[in-house]
Structure 1
Amino acid sequence: MDDRFEGLRQQRHLLYDRFAVAQVAVSSDGLEVTFAGPMETGVRVGGFAVVEVADRCVVVQVRSVEVVEREGPELDLEVREQVHGYGVSAARARPMMRALHGSAVTLGELDSAGFTVLPRTVPFGESPIRPATAGEVAAVAAGLPAGAATLDVGVLNQAPQVAAQLRATGFGRHTFMCGQSGSGKTYTTGGLLERLLRRTSLPILVFDPNSDHVHLGATADPADESPAAVRHRAVAGDVYVARARGFGSPFTLCLDFSDLEVDTQALLLRMHPVRDLDDFHALRQVTSTLTAPYSAADVAAAAAATPEGARLAKRIANLGIADWELWRREGERSAADFDIRTKRCVVVDIGSLPTPDERTAVVLALLGRRWATRRRRDPVLLVIDEAHNVLPAATDNPLLAATTDLGTLIAGEGRKFGLHLFVATQRPGKVHPNVVSQCDNLVLMRMNGAADIAALAGFFSHVPRPMLEQATGFGLGEALFAGPIAPVPVLAKVGRRVSPQGGADVPATWAEVTS
């Protein structure tokens, strides 16, 4: 750093000391707050701050912070060097000075007895604002849930010694989880499911396309005697994992052909009700004569026995549908018969099935069964991991299109029947917008694209956009929780999980330099 630059820097520091921006906040309605201050103010988007108003401390959450430039005072300067050959001895100038400006919302008031949630406070004029101390953050975090049942999901970014808490009842609304590959999305999903298992009685049905959650009923360290691990072992026996044959699961992932609606059977057989008029009619006629449960082989045999069903039988044979590993065998129980009312958690390992159509058929059958029995009003959390493979934004696959139609129906109408979605994906644009738009909760992890942030801002307008933009700088396991699951939008580092982790990246040992 040369002497001239250092001299200029010192002069600017003198200006900032002499003409400092007041570090103050104002509120005309006791709810919305604006503030200003020097660059060293210390407040951060999503963090808690305290406004010291007369004899009370108003707690606010910062929603936006930006650097603004303003003209400084007019200065008379002595010029000691010649300017373009002219003898100029003095000049006037207005240096540009930078400060912070931002907005916040009031949460309540803090006193010696603790934090009190208030819908709004008394309006106030210019009053000092500062970041909340760690002790104040702890008091606010403890008071925000206002007695509601909570789940500790990790620690707050602002104060790593303070637990980040979510409202358990918030999972009674649809949840959208988004994070790019490598952000810790699978780890976080497993951690949330663990906590729901340990702290609630909400039944959970997990569609697991990558076999990431098949160890949810175990602990990673058998010797772990932490309270979380002990509690998890107590509920682990209520986790049932259904996998395809050959994976060693006590619960075989299988279906009867009759578990599928006739229209879905037709989609599996690549039939259209108009273009394949005769075959579609034959399918309806044949299945109406069969008693459930029946198999695809039963349909083919019954169709072959009639002249009008011969083409249908050949279609089944040519497509090899009857040979799928998915179909139930003697002594097995169809996954469609799982009664979620008697099980805390069922993990359906659709990733263990060999073909995409088999995986989609399982999702259609199980979601269809949940929808068909919706009037029982049995609450259940339907977890769809890697949801772009199940509820895509666009597809030319009629079977996937049917799954998406069912998913959007549940998203729009299911909540009043107790059907609550938890949809996880890498980018918002990959899941059908009619599903995302029905989600009230957002769990956002690291994102790279500005376009994805803009899309999320459109879907989740109740979350301040500057908070969404924080996701581009998230580290591994950091997340924004917003919606009914959180008393206020929460920026947190996800805590430890006790079940074995799935979905880890392949080790990059190939990058090691060898001699």
Structure 2
Amino acid sequence: MKSSQVELPAADTSYALSLDGRRFTFGAVVSGAADHGQFVTLLSPDGRRQLGQVDAVTAEPGGTVSGEGALLGAIGESGLDARGTFPFGSAEVVTAEPSMIELVYATAGATLNVGSVLGADAVTARLIPQRFNRHTFWCGQSGSGKSYALGVLIEQLLVRTRLPMVIFDPNADFVRLGELSAHGEEAESAEEAALLQSRDIRVLRPAGDSADPLLVRFTELSMPSKAAVLRLDPLADRAEYNELLHFERTIGSRSPEEIIPRLLRSESPAARTLAARIDNLRLIDWELWAGDRPAVTDIIRERPDATVLDLGGFNHPDEYLVVALAVLDELWERREERRPILIVIDEAHNLCSPENDGPLEVAVRERITQIAAEGRKFGLWLLLSTQRPSKVASGILSQCDNVAVMRMSSPADLTELAVRFGFAPAAMLARTTGFRQGEAFFAGGFVPAPTLASMRTRLTVEGGVDVRVPLRAEGARPR
């Protein structure tokens, strides 16, 4: 409401009004409560107190501000009662003490320590682990610290929950998830570090010299997925498709190098055409085929605490898509087992972009869309991370109930986020344009109140670190 509608008291004080007991409006001098995301205590004349959060502020002529916010709960002897908020005609507004802000997170059972609350550094910003049974969207432009911050969250999930994760890692950001950093070895983090060290973390990398190769068994793919690998259309390529349909019963018993000769020996023209297709695509040369070795799906069935899939080192550009399709097919086909798992997809635009139209890209996107729409009740939960929300298919983005936003300077991206995530206060979302590296905004079910935070330091070593520009020593003579 406008400041002219509020009889302002003496300097350094602000007064508020609430008609419905859920939201409040206020007017204040500039030194009063006037920052987006700020937690405030509202004191009624009868002595009752409530905790609130400012989510919109407008500067007024004459050196005053007005704004509004949400009531988070009534403050009593037993703590914070989120259902006990009440309307009032007038209340004094002051900045909340750290102990009051702490009640917001403690009452909600938020235990995932991701950093400190901006403007209240003494308060730990925490997320609610139980609310990762919803899909989560994580975004931030290049240089915002997005992948580093995602690593902080993954560490906390490993420390505080028994929720297994499979992590699609295109840039090797998480391949050192099992290695403690210098910070992770410090005394203050000793307990968490010990817990991390006890977790079962598997890192699978493209074959080559890898001790734990990232492999796929072709015969375990669904028939539509096999066709996508071979770029077969069931109608346009119906003869080859039908040949593959019948051949798949015996293909698993043969090594890859035996497949083409066997097809060529067939009297069927379709079999010989299929052999030429496999040869032209150089599929036999791909290094991801498991043969008799353990496939990625074998490992995921064991449900390690975290399975990191390093997708960035394959020689053929389609191999990472086959890995993604094999894993997603496996999880979807076994969905009725209802074994919860968090599917973390970093740089999600690689797998979820509406612009990708190749057979494998379409197959992967459609499977993720299916999991986004129907997987939640089966315990298949997505965590999608990307630089550009507009690069993620809208049918996937619209299913996310949690959102984390780091620095975003694109007006188009902020507009997209505001439209998709109406539960995130627009004024708080707009603050992301001025974020420093490592600052984040959280909203949705996994946080008890929209939170602006500075991310904590990771316990484990970050992989995929940017290459630094080499500098010359000062005073060095040119050669």
Q: Same fold (TM over 0.5)?
A: yes
Structure-1-length-normalised TM-score: 0.85
Map of 1:305 onto structure 2: 265
**SS in structure 2 of the partner of residue 337 of structure 1:** helix
Map of 1:9 onto structure 2: none
Equivalent of 1:58, from 45, 50, 55? 50
Which amino acid in 1 is paired with 2:457?
A: R
Residue 447 of structure 1 deviates from its aligned partner by 0.3
Equivalent of 1:321, from 262, 277, 283? 283
Map of 1:35 onto structure 2: 26
Map of 2:168 onto structure 1: 207
Give percent identity, aligned residues only.
36
**SS in structure 2 of the partner of residue 122 of structure 1:** coil
Whole-angstrom CA distance in 2 between matches of 1:158 and 1:20: 21
Query: Relative to 1, partners in 2 of residues 1:238 and 1:507: Cα closer, same or farther, differing over 3 Å?
Result: same
Query: Relative to 1, partners in 2 of residues 1:149 and 1:447: Cα closer, same or farther, differing over 3 Å?
Result: closer
Which amino acid in 2 is paired with 1:493?
A: S
Query: Relative to 1, partners in 2 of residues 1:68 and 1:223: Cα closer, same or farther, differing over 3 Å?
Result: closer
Larger radius of gyration: 1
> Does the CA-based 8 Å contact 2:167-2:309 persist in structure 1?
yes
Equivalent of 2:446, from 481, 485, 504? 485
**SS in structure 1 of the partner of residue 113 of structure 2:** strand
Whole-angstrom CA distance in 1 between matches of 2:22 and 2:457: 36
Equivalent of 1:68, from 60, 65, 86? 60
Whole-angstrom CA distance in 1 between matches of 2:227 and 2:111: 46
Equivalent of 1:276, from 220, 227, 237? 237
Q: Trace 1:265-414 onto structure 2 (pairs within 5 A).
A: 265-287=226-248, 289-290=249-250, 292=252, 296-308=256-268, 309-330=271-292, 332-414=293-375
Residue 512 of structure 1 deviates from its aligned partner by 8.9
Map of 1:76 onto structure 2: none
Whole-angstrom CA distance in 2 between matches of 1:172 and 1:222: 30
Whole-angstrom CA distance in 2 between matches of 1:262 and 1:301: 22
Whole-angstrom CA distance in 2 between matches of 1:455 and 1:223: 37
Count of equivalent residues: 466
Residue 298 of structure 1 deviates from its aligned partner by 4.6
Residue 124 of structure 1 deviates from its aligned partner by 1.0
Residue 436 of structure 1 deviates from its aligned partner by 0.8
Map of 1:24 onto structure 2: 15
Residue 296 of structure 1 deviates from its aligned partner by 4.7
Residue 50 of structure 1 deviates from its aligned partner by 1.5
> Does the CA-based 8 Å contact 2:12-2:32 persist in structure 1?
no
Whole-angstrom CA distance in 2 between matches of 1:305 and 1:203: 46
Q: Which moved more, 1:179-188 or 1:301-310?
A: 301-310
Q: Trace 1:62-461 onto structure 2 (pairs within 5 A).
A: 62-69=54-61, 97-110=62-75, 113=77, 115-132=79-96, 136-146=97-107, 148=109, 150-221=111-182, 224-226=185-187, 228-236=189-197, 237-248=199-210, 250-287=211-248, 289-290=249-250, 292=252, 296-308=256-268, 309-330=271-292, 332-461=293-422
Query: Relative to 1, partners in 2 of residues 1:180 and 1:121: Cα closer, same or farther, differing over 3 Å?
Result: same
Whole-angstrom CA distance in 2 between matches of 1:123 and 1:168: 32
Structure-2-length-normalised TM-score: 0.91
Query: Relative to 1, partners in 2 of residues 1:110 and 1:336: Cα closer, same or farther, differing over 3 Å?
Result: same
Residue 164 of structure 1 deviates from its aligned partner by 0.7
> Does the CA-based 8 Å contact 1:219-1:229 persist in structure 2?
no
Whole-angstrom CA distance in 2 between matches of 1:184 and 1:211: 15
Residues 145-195 of structure 1, C-alpha deviation per residue, up to 9 Å, x if partnerless? 426251111111021111111101111111000000110111111111111
Query: Relative to 1, partners in 2 of residues 1:264 and 1:175: Cα closer, same or farther, differing over 3 Å?
Result: same
What CA RMSD, in Å, does the superposition of the two structures yield over aligned residues? 2.5
Residue 502 of structure 1 deviates from its aligned partner by 2.3
Query: Relative to 1, partners in 2 of residues 1:508 and 1:142: Cα closer, same or farther, differing over 3 Å?
Result: farther
> Does the CA-based 8 Å contact 2:108-2:128 persist in structure 1?
no
Query: Relative to 1, partners in 2 of residues 1:147 and 1:274: Cα closer, same or farther, differing over 3 Å?
Result: closer
